[in-house]
Each structure stands twice: as C-alpha cells, then as structure tokens.
Amino acid sequence: MTRDTYLKRSLGTQANRIKQSRVLLVGAGGIGCELLKNLLLTGFGEVHLIDLDTIDLSNLNRQFLFRHEHIKRSKALVAKEAAQTFQPSANIVAHHANIKDSQFNVDWFATFDVVFNALDNLDARRHVNKMCLAADVPLVESGTTGFNGQVQVIKKGKTECYDCNSKEVPKSFPVCTIRSTPSQPIHCIVWAKSYLLPELFGTSEADAEEFDYSADADNAEEIENLQKEARALKEIRQSMGTSEFTEKVFEKVFREDIERLRGMEDMWKTRKAPEPLDLAQLNEALSTAEPGISSMDQRAWTLSENMAVFKDSLDRLSTRLRTLQESAADNSQAVLTFDKDDVDTLDFVTASANLRAKIFEIETKSKFDTKQMAGNIIPAIATTNAMTAGLCVLMSLKVLKDDYENAKMVFLERSGARAINSEKPNPPNPNCPVCSVTNAKVKIDLKRATLDDLVGNVLRQQLEYRGEFSVSTTQGTIYDPDLDDNLPKKLSDLGIAESSFLTVVDEEDEQPRVNLQFVVVAPAESTWQEQPIVLDKVPEIPRKPKAPTPAPESEHVNGTASLGKRKRDAEEAGLDNGDPPTKRVANVTISDGVDKTHPIDLMEDEGGAILIDD
Ligand SMILES: Nc1ncnc2c1ncn2[C@@H]1O[C@H](COP(=O)(O)OP(=O)(O)OP(=O)(O)O)[C@@H](O)[C@H]1O
Ligand SMILES: [Zn+2]
C-alpha cells in the first residue's frame, strides 16, 4: 500500500485534475502553513507561495513548518524548504515579496487554477480579490479570529466577492475618553500607546488613528486644552538625554495634567475624580521593586514596580531615539513606534498605562495582557487555523469541479450547537463597486499616453461613451466633466503604472452602464508603433439594473453565525439536500488500527468521491 492509497480512493477521478493544477497561496502564516501542508498532501502538483514577512519567535507555536533556527528568515522560502521534504515531487515556487508588487500582475494571476488567501489584513485581501476578479480566477478566501473561522469561495459573476459587503473598521475611541475620562484598562493602554509614546518618541497625535475627534465636536474648550498639553509635552521632549527628563515627563503627565483635570469640576459630578501621583513618595518606595521586574509578564506589577519599569524604559527609549537621530539624515524620520514585539516600547506602554490606571482607580494589567490589548491581538488558535485550512481545501475541490452551488460559505465557531456551519454562497451584489463591473485589460505605452488618449480615443470614440462620465484611480478622480485640466497630462504623471486600476463611471441618469474597470498592462520597454493605448478586446458593458435587487438575507452578520434555526437532521446531512444524486462506489473498511466494525462509506459523484458531507 502506498502513502496515497486512501487519498486516491477518496478523491477518485479528481486526483489527476488536482495533480495537474497550478495554485497560488498568499500568506505563509498561521493558516498558510497548514494550508501548504494540506495542499501538498492532497496531491496538488504545483503550488506558488508568497509572503513578505520573516519568521518571528511568536510564530513558532502554531506555524509548524518553522523552527527556532529559522527566526529572521523568509517565511515563504522556509515554508517551501520544510514542505518540500515531505512532498519532494511537488513543484513549490516561493516568493519572498508583497503580493501587491507590480510583477504579480493580472496576467500572472490568470495563470492559476485557484488562488488561496491566508492573509491577516484587509488591504491585501482586497487587492487579491480585485486581481482574481480581473483575471477571472476563483479565490478561496479565509480568516480566523480566536475560535472563529470563515471560508468563502469567490468567483466572478457567480458568488459575492470580498467587497460585496462593507467590512467592520477597527474600533476607535473618542479622544476625551482616552485623554480625560478613562474608565477601562484599554483606555489607559491606548493613551500610553497612541498618545504618550508618539508624543515623546514619534510623530504627533494628529496621526494617531485610535483617536476620534468627531464625538467631541461640542467640546471645543477641552480639545483646545488637550492640544496645549500636547504642545507642552513637545517642549519637554527637548530635555531628552538630560537627568531631568524622566522627572519632567512624570510631573507633567501624572501630576500637573491630572490636577488640571480635577479642576474641571463638572466632569467629576458623576465620576470619581482622579488622584495625581506623588513623585517623591514613589521615588522613596522604588527600592521595594524587585530587580528584573520587566521579565515578570504574567502578573500585574505593584505601583513601585510600574514606576521602576517606567523610568527604566524611558531611559532605554531615549537612548535609542538619540542614536537613531544621530545616524538619520533627516531628523524627522528618526522615530520610535509601538511594536508589541519590541520590549522597550511594550515596557513603556505597560508601565505608563498602569500608572495612569492607578490615578483613575482602574484595574491594572500585566505586561502579557497589555501586549494582547495594545496589539489588538485576539490569540491565534492553532486548531482553528488547522480546521479552516482543511475547509479551504474541501472548498477548492468544489471549485475544481465548477460546482459553485455547493462551494459554501463555511463558519467555524465555538459557542452554539454546531462547530461548523455553512450556507449557500450569495450571488454577487449588483451594487458592489468591485465585482459588479465590467473588467477589461488595457495596454498602455506609459511614455506616450495622455489622459486625453484614454478619454477621447478609447472611451468616447471606441467605446461610445456619449454623455457625462468620470475616471478614477485608487488615489482619486482624475477626470470628470468639471475636471478636464488633466487631459493633456501623461497617464504616468497621474500615478498610473503597471497593474493600476482605472474605474470609469457612467454618470448618465437614464440607465447608465455598469462601471468599467480597466487593469493596466504597461510593458516597461514598449516598442509598439500603434496607438499609445490599446484595448485587449472591446468589452461589452451592460446597463445597470433599474432597481437594485437586495442581496438574499444572510443568517450571518460580520461572520458570526446565528444558530437559532440550525438543527442538524438527515436532510441537512446532505443525503437529500438537492445535491445531484451520488453514486456509492465503495464500502471500505479502514484496517490500520481503526475500528473494523464501523466501515466508512465513500460516495462518488461524477467528479470524484465526497468523503465528508458539507
Ligand atoms: N501584502 C502581503 N503580501 C504577502 N504576504 C502578506 C501580505 N500581507 C500579509 N501577508 C502575510 O500573511 C500572513 C498572515 O499570517 P498570520 O495571520 O498568521 O500573521 P502572522 O504575522 O504570522 O502572525 P501574528 O500577526 O499573529 O504575529 C503573514 O505571514 C504575513 O506576512
Ligand atoms: Zn462584490
């Protein structure tokens, strides 16, 4: 019996197709490592793997292809090396690069049978979604947070895309909560990380995205005061490197600012007023702090221990910033930013947040907890990643059979009646700005082509746009009826390059055409003699539907399943769910140490066996 005997039995006639497939895996992190292993063990013959990052100590607990000696090496290259040892015959191609690089253009995407996303950020996911739609390649999108996981198949024209629904934006806090009236540990942590640290060692608070001024619009006086505080702190920054620096910072943020706040009596009618800290008293108690306290990250530190770490980390950061400033050509570029894996910034944020928490009588947090909270980390769980990666492969088998009806959205969760829930894929949202568009490829000679070539020759003449329309890039609008100054400019001067997207919006009131999305192909050394802009082929651009048809109701909101209605019964178990009739081909008993009295039924439909019902 060979290693893949059972594999061949379960995959049936699909095994060959899988072996000949060429797939792309984007991300070699938590899901990516599991998925690479699964793809190879399922027999996928050619896997291209891309990741921009290097291996970090904190990856090792779940990214099982990596070992301690691989730290700082490329994730993609090490993953390839490790996986190749257990599947030497597979063709694995690794790229240590960003998937957004222009070399990975739409033609390159189009060479794959399936693309798998195993990413950790919205921006890269959106990019791959767009590229796969433009190249008309199916995408298996996946993600996990803690115990929750999700897998979704995306195919142009058949299912909804990643951008058919709006995505939740990261949580922000009103600035007054953070700066004046904190009531939870997270408020103190955000204050230390997004205000105090950047104000002392980085760029100004105006750039900190965790502050939201909009909710405080009525509070102009308080905002003005806060801005004054920030200016005062900038002055203190000048004394960095002198013996008074620590004292000045402490006195400013833990005494003076708090005394000023206490003075605003209206604020404390319904809340307990904050109590400033006393520097002299704390300095006296310093000797009671245990040495090496910073490495004790599991318990909340005492007040004097926080003071000790505050002083020490402030010194470490000051020294680092000064060294950086000395070697940087431009002083403004020498900044220190928060990184949960940078022990100096984490110590500083933990200690400062806890000192502030004492002032407001808020619970203090351990360094370990602070790291999770400040890094917006929900712990990654290896089992969730493994299950999700397994489901990705099962869905890709449907994709290879062109069976999009059954390429379901799958949700993993811990609470609720079932760990795995699924629902039929939703059709594309007709109003989606990303997928309900006509895609077309346009070849541009960037040395010559002007916006007028595009607007006049291609859009008006060739594609017969008669009325009003606009043209935009991901950076903004470059042409509309009131913005024609750009017409003589070269497209390259308007930021257009290889793999740029250009969106043409028909602004007519009466039955406008759907948006037209061009993806740019721009050979670096162009030698062609024809027009500077050439359409790959003339696209057919349908008119928009009259009234938007609402997308069918989904039981899932933001990826969380509502389980109320879901009861598992024989029908749902796949035996009579409208699937094409299945043909039983084998009644196999697995003999290797498995209970012989319970044979496993394998069922095969036309394209291959189905081992697990979905
Ligand atoms: N634009 C991109 N191009 C290529 N790879 C990317 C891109 N954006 C993110 N990635 C990769 O996707 C992977 C996502 O994996 P995962 O969610 O496990 O994150 P991680 O960085 O390994 O772990 P953690 O964030 O928990 O420390 C990472 O390895 C990351 O480098
Ligand atoms: Zn869409």
Determine the Cα angle at 93 with ends 44 and 144, to 5°: 65
- Cα 118 to ligand 1 centroid, rounded to whole Å: 8
Burial 150-184 (b: 16+ CB within 10 A, else e): bbbbbbbeebbbbbbbeeeeeebbbbbbbbbbbee
526 pLDDT band, cuts 50/70/90, is low
547 pLDDT band, cuts 50/70/90, is low
Query: Would residue 428 count as lying in a domain?
Result: no
In sequence order, which residues have a C-beta less than 8 Å from that of residue 532 and are 6 or more positions away? 444, 445, 448, 449, 450, 453
Question: Tell me: the pLDDT tens digits for 132-164?
Answer: 999 999 999 999 988 999 999 999 999 999 999
Which carries the bigger pLDDT value, residue 604 or residue 91?
91
610 pLDDT band, cuts 50/70/90, is very low
Query: Would residue 521 count as lying in a domain?
Result: yes
User: Both 24 and 136 in a single domain?
Assistant: yes
Q: What is the mean pLDDT of residues 65-91?
A: 96
Q: Is 456 annotated as a binding residue?
A: no
Prediction pTM value? 0.67
Which carries the bigger pLDDT value, residue 603 or residue 120?
120
User: Both 226 and 279 in a single domain?
Assistant: yes
Q: What is the mean pLDDT of residues 434-458?
A: 93
* Least confident residue range of 28-37, 53-62, 140-149, 599-608: 599-608
Q: Identify the pLDDT of residue 304.
A: 92
Answer whether 58 contacts ligand 1 (Cβ < 6 A). Answer: yes
Q: Is 454 annotated as a binding residue?
A: no
Answer whether 380 contacts ligand 1 (Cβ < 6 A). Answer: yes
Query: Would residue 36 count as lying in a domain?
Result: yes
Euclidean distance between CA atoms 466 and 485, whole angstroms: 20
User: Both 44 and 129 in a single domain?
Assistant: yes
Q: Identify the pLDDT of residue 585.
A: 32
Q: Domain boundary residue among 359, 392, 423?
A: 423
Euclidean distance between CA atoms 483 and 479, whole angstroms: 5
Q: Domain boundary residue among 519, 535, 551?
A: 535
CATH of the domain at 448: 3.10.290.20
Closest-approaching ligand to the CA atom of 436:
2
The closest-lying atom of ligand 1 relative to the alpha carbon of residue 127 is 1
Closest-approaching ligand to the CA atom of 384:
1
Euclidean distance between CA atoms 361 and 101, whole angstroms: 49
Euclidean distance between CA atoms 138 and 23, whole angstroms: 10
Q: Identify the pLDDT of residue 232.
A: 85
User: Both 10 and 127 in a single domain?
Assistant: yes
Q: Is 28 annotated as a binding residue?
A: yes
Q: Is 448 annotated as a binding residue?
A: no
Which carries the bigger pLDDT value, residue 580 or residue 490?
490
- Measure the N-to-C terminal CA separation of the chain; round to a whole number of Å: 29
Beta-carbon-side half-sphere exposure of residue 236 (alpha carbons within 13 Å): 22
Dihedral sign, Cα of residue 362, residue 368, residue 369, residue 371: positive
The closest-lying atom of ligand 1 relative to the alpha carbon of residue 144 is 17
Q: Is 392 annotated as a binding residue?
A: no
Which of 31, 51, 55 should be mutated for ligand 1, with most atoms under 8 A from CB?
A: 51
Going by alpha carbons, the residue nearest to atom 16 of ligand 1 is 29
Which carries the bigger pLDDT value, residue 138 or residue 474?
138
User: Both 236 and 317 in a single domain?
Assistant: yes
Quote the tokens at residue 452. Answer: 């007028």
Q: Identify the pLDDT of residue 234.
A: 83
Residues by chain with Cβ below 5 Å of ion ligand 2: 161, 163-164, 432, 434-435
Q: Identify the pLDDT of residue 271.
A: 86
Answer whether 124 contacts ligand 1 (Cβ < 6 A). Answer: yes
Answer whether 98 contacts ligand 1 (Cβ < 6 A). Answer: yes
CATH of the domain at 309: 1.10.10.520
Answer whether 34 contacts ligand 1 (Cβ < 6 A). Answer: no
- Written in H, E and C, the secondary structure of 119-138 is CCCHHHHHHHHHHHHHHCCC
Euclidean distance between CA atoms 53 and 75, whole angstroms: 6
89-98, 230-239, 376-385, 555-564: which has the highest mean pLDDT? 89-98
- Written in H, E and C, the secondary structure of 542-580 is CECCCCCCCCCCCCEECCEECCCCCCCCCHHHHHCCCCC
Q: Identify the pLDDT of residue 287.
A: 76
Which of 25, 31, 33, 52 should be mutated for ligand 1, with most atoms under 8 A from CB?
A: 52
Q: What percent of the chain has pLDDT over 90?
A: 57
Q: Identify the pLDDT of residue 192.
A: 95
Q: Can you list the alpha helix ranges (DSSP code H) found in 60-173?
A: 75-86, 106-109, 122-135
Q: Is the pLDDT of residue 168 over 70?
A: no
* Least confident residue range of 186-200, 470-484, 515-529, 543-557: 543-557
Closest-approaching ligand to the CA atom of 129:
2
Which carries the bigger pLDDT value, residue 175 or residue 259?
259
CATH of the domain at 85: 3.40.50.720
Which carries the bigger pLDDT value, residue 53 or residue 58?
53
Q: Identify the pLDDT of residue 238.
A: 87
Bridge partners, 426 (sequence order): none
Cβ atoms < 10 Å from Cβ of 385: 25
Q: Is 157 annotated as a binding residue?
A: no
* Least confident residue range of 92-96, 418-422, 450-454: 418-422
Euclidean distance between CA atoms 74 and 60, whole angstroms: 14
Euclidean distance between CA atoms 480 and 489, whole angstroms: 14
Query: Would residue 587 count as lying in a domain?
Result: no
Query: Would residue 132 count as lying in a domain?
Result: yes
Q: Identify the pLDDT of residue 511.
A: 84
Q: Is 292 annotated as a binding residue?
A: no
Nearest residue to 310 (alpha-carbon basis) of 357, 360, 348: 348
Question: Tell me: the pLDDT tens digits for 208-238?
Answer: 455 555 555 556 666 677 777 778 888 898 8
Q: Identify the pLDDT of residue 210.
A: 57
Answer whether 611 contacts ligand 1 (Cβ < 6 A). Answer: no
Going by alpha carbons, the residue nearest to atom 26 of ligand 1 is 380
DSSP of 416-456, one letter per residue?
Answer: SS-SEEEEPPPPPPTT-TTTSEEEEEEEE-TTT-BHHIIII
User: Both 84 and 192 in a single domain?
Assistant: no
User: Both 472 and 391 in a single domain?
Assistant: no
- Cα 223 to ligand 2 centroid, rounded to whole Å: 40
- Cα 129 to ligand 2 centroid, rounded to whole Å: 9
Question: Tell me: the pLDDT tens digits for 282-309?
Answer: 998 887 777 788 889 999 999 999 999 9
Residue with tokens 């084998």: 586
79-93, 267-281, 416-430, 434-448: which has the highest mean pLDDT? 79-93
Answer whether 30 contacts ligand 1 (Cβ < 6 A). Answer: yes
Residue with tokens 């746009």: 465
Question: Tell me: the pLDDT tens digits for 336-362?
Answer: 989 988 999 999 999 999 999 999 999
Q: What is the mean pLDDT of residues 164-175?
A: 73
Q: What percent of the chain has pLDDT over 70?
A: 83
Per the annotation, the verdict on 132 as an active-site residue is no
Answer whether 444 contacts ligand 1 (Cβ < 6 A). Answer: no
597 pLDDT band, cuts 50/70/90, is very low
- Cα 153 to ligand 2 centroid, rounded to whole Å: 12
The closest-lying atom of ligand 1 relative to the alpha carbon of residue 377 is 26
The closest-lying atom of ligand 1 relative to the alpha carbon of residue 341 is 27
378 pLDDT band, cuts 50/70/90, is confident
Question: Tell me: the pLDDT tens digits for 568-588?
Answer: 322 332 223 333 333 333 333
Answer whether 27 contacts ligand 1 (Cβ < 6 A). Answer: yes
Distance of CA 600 to the CA centre of its chain: 39
Q: Identify the pLDDT of residue 273.
A: 94
User: Both 203 and 341 in a single domain?
Assistant: yes
Q: Is 121 annotated as a binding residue?
A: yes
Query: Would residue 111 count as lying in a domain?
Result: yes
User: Both 247 and 271 in a single domain?
Assistant: yes
Quote the tokens at residue 493. Answer: 């001067």
Query: Would residue 430 count as lying in a domain?
Result: no
Q: Identify the pLDDT of residue 14.
A: 92
Q: Domain boundary residue among 483, 512, 535?
A: 535
The length of the chain in residues reads 614
Edge to edge, the sheet with strand 91-96 lists 91-96, 46-51, 22-26, 114-117, 139-145, 148-154, 409-412, 420-423
Q: Identify the pLDDT of residue 211.
A: 57
Q: Identify the pLDDT of residue 215.
A: 53
CB 160 within 8 A of CB 133: no
Answer whether 46 contacts ligand 1 (Cβ < 6 A). Answer: no
Torsion angle of the four alpha carbons 340, 341, 342, 346, in this order, in degrees rounded to the nearest 10: 40
Going by alpha carbons, the residue nearest to atom 29 of ligand 1 is 29
Q: What is the mean pLDDT of residues 69-98?
A: 97
User: Both 252 and 388 in a single domain?
Assistant: no
User: Both 496 and 410 in a single domain?
Assistant: no
Domains held by the chain: number: 3
20 pLDDT band, cuts 50/70/90, is very high
Q: Identify the pLDDT of residue 592.
A: 37
Closest-approaching ligand to the CA atom of 29:
1
Query: Would residue 117 count as lying in a domain?
Result: yes
Burial zone of 331 (CB within 10 Å; 0-12 exposed, 13-18 middle, 19+ buried): exposed
Average pLDDT, the chain: 84
How many angstroms separate the Cα of 354 from the Cα of each of 12, 190, 210, 268, 310?
60, 11, 19, 21, 10
CB 312 within 8 A of CB 286: no
Catalytic residue among 33, 132, 176, 392: 176
Answer whether 50 contacts ligand 1 (Cβ < 6 A). Answer: yes
Q: Identify the pLDDT of residue 549.
A: 46
CB 388 within 8 A of CB 150: yes
205 pLDDT band, cuts 50/70/90, is low
Q: Are strands 22-26 and 46-51 parallel, antiparallel or unpaired?
A: parallel
- Cα 378 to ligand 1 centroid, rounded to whole Å: 15
Answer whether 496 contacts ligand 1 (Cβ < 6 A). Answer: no
Q: Is the pLDDT of residue 390 over 80?
A: yes
Q: Which domain holds residue 66?
A: 4-168+380-423
Closest-approaching ligand to the CA atom of 32:
1
User: Both 61 and 197 in a single domain?
Assistant: no
